[in-house]
Chains A and B, each alone.
Chain A
């Protein structure tokens, strides 16, 4: 029997030899075992067993993160058997779903009961627990990241206890749990604040970079969802906008209209991305966004155009209260730079990251960055509260692998 497979738990499967490779290919490791328990009780048994043996458990969603959040020498757990709709309340536009439900599947599931998520990120290949736990977001001046829609969670803590937390009964716990990277417990189900299902119209344009920057506030105000791509080898942008069908789009005389489509939100917001890339993303205060972008643009044009053709993405996210949310307490702009996964990226990211940090940036937990320990603690007012809670809920450090201990400065 492979390590980590408790003898008395029948409702699980395990295999032990597969290498885990994340989506982009840069995070690779071989855990002792990979398991996908079929019930909360089975999750609990695994956690208790790991605690007793001083072993580590991490949970992988769909493997879209490119930081070593899920790297573990011991048990890599999947919540693939915790998926689908559990219950819902149309009067409050809320639904509870399995933690391992992939967003691409969740959209139609919610649609069928008349509900939709408020927003999605650029892709919908991640699990719902994964996007909540890493602070994944879309773009829109009034739209928060996906973790802000968490209103309840069922989880297995580091002691193996199965707990339920709700925003009504334990708002601080929920605020800690929103972006918690699996450090407080293994989510088995999440309750989401949703909206009655709705349609959106997408309209995209090509424009000059300076025109885009000159009209940035108007663009952000006039569209429910707005972001732009900047193309370093053309020094021009693609404007991506979404509005409800009944909301008129403004005239943009400086831009060339290139694409339009309409559909339900889950069909329209996320895009397909097959080409693999590495990404560095930071969240800077909204008011610092334009200046930060200008500096990134200048640096890329001066130093990196020889090897970099991938776009830079500029997105807007409304503030939230998640203890470790990168947009905690401040409306933010997320600036991300990309490179083909098959090409060297480290020198490029190392040169851009200080610019993002100099504008008071906070890194995306699930993407490449160099921060850890005190440097991160200084960015989050509730850092110590989160750490105290982590130690309380996971006293044996079952979820604290070496990469996570280094990240948190708890080595």
Chain B
């Protein structure tokens, strides 16, 4: 049986969802996306805290990732406890109750030429 892979704490310092989009939505919506791999055998509860330049952190945003599944979530869509503003720098810390792997992806369709950037988050 594969051991759980990853870490329980991850950090993303460079969040910034572009305001403008071009192309067909929701496929081409400019966005920041959280990609979580839970290769373990337990469902995982994530607690996400969002940090800003000019005010106190907001959170936790709660997400579940089922055992042996991946989950992709757009930061743009998070509303609980409150929506994240677009076009605003933010960082995120993700705390999981079991090890997971976290990848961060930005789709920027501000211009018609699609731009994608992706990286593993920083494991704590």
For chain A, the bracket of interface size reads: 10 to 19
Question: How far does the Cβ of A8 sit from chain B's closest Cβ, in whole Å?
Answer: 49
Q: Is B82 within 8 A of A340, CB to CB?
A: yes
- Cα(A176)–Cα(B108), bound, Å: 55
Cβ of A89 < 8 Å from any Cβ of B? no
- Cα(A340)–Cα(B78), bound, Å: 11
- Cα(A298)–Cα(B13), bound, Å: 33
Q: Is A307 within 8 A of B76, CB to CB?
A: no
Chain B interface main SS type: loop
Q: State which residues 295-327 of A face B: CB under 8 Å.
A: 305-310
Q: Which residue on A lies nearest to B88, using beta carbons?
A: A306
Which of A234, A235, A236, A309 lies in contact with B83, CB distance below 8 A? A309
Q: Which residue on B lies nearest to A310, using beta carbons?
A: B79
Known pairs A233-B76, A234-B77, A305-B19; A310 contacts B25 (CB<8 A): no
Chain B residues within 8 Å of A306, by CB: 19, 85-88
Chain B residues within 8 Å of A307, by CB: 83, 85-86
Chain B residues within 8 Å of A308, by CB: 83
Q: Which residue on B lies nearest to A339, using beta carbons?
A: B83
Which of B19, B26, B76, B87 lies in contact with A309, CB distance below 8 A? B76
B residues in contact (CB < 8 Å) with A? 19, 25-26, 29, 74, 76-88
Enumerate 24 A-B pairs (CB-CB under 8 Å) in ascending A order: A231-B26, A233-B76, A233-B77, A234-B25, A234-B26, A234-B29, A234-B76, A235-B25, A235-B26, A235-B29, A236-B25, A305-B19, A306-B19, A306-B86, A306-B87, A307-B83, A309-B83, A310-B79, A310-B83, A340-B79, A340-B83, A342-B81, A342-B82, A343-B82
A residues in contact (CB < 8 Å) with B? 231, 233-236, 275, 305-310, 340, 342-343
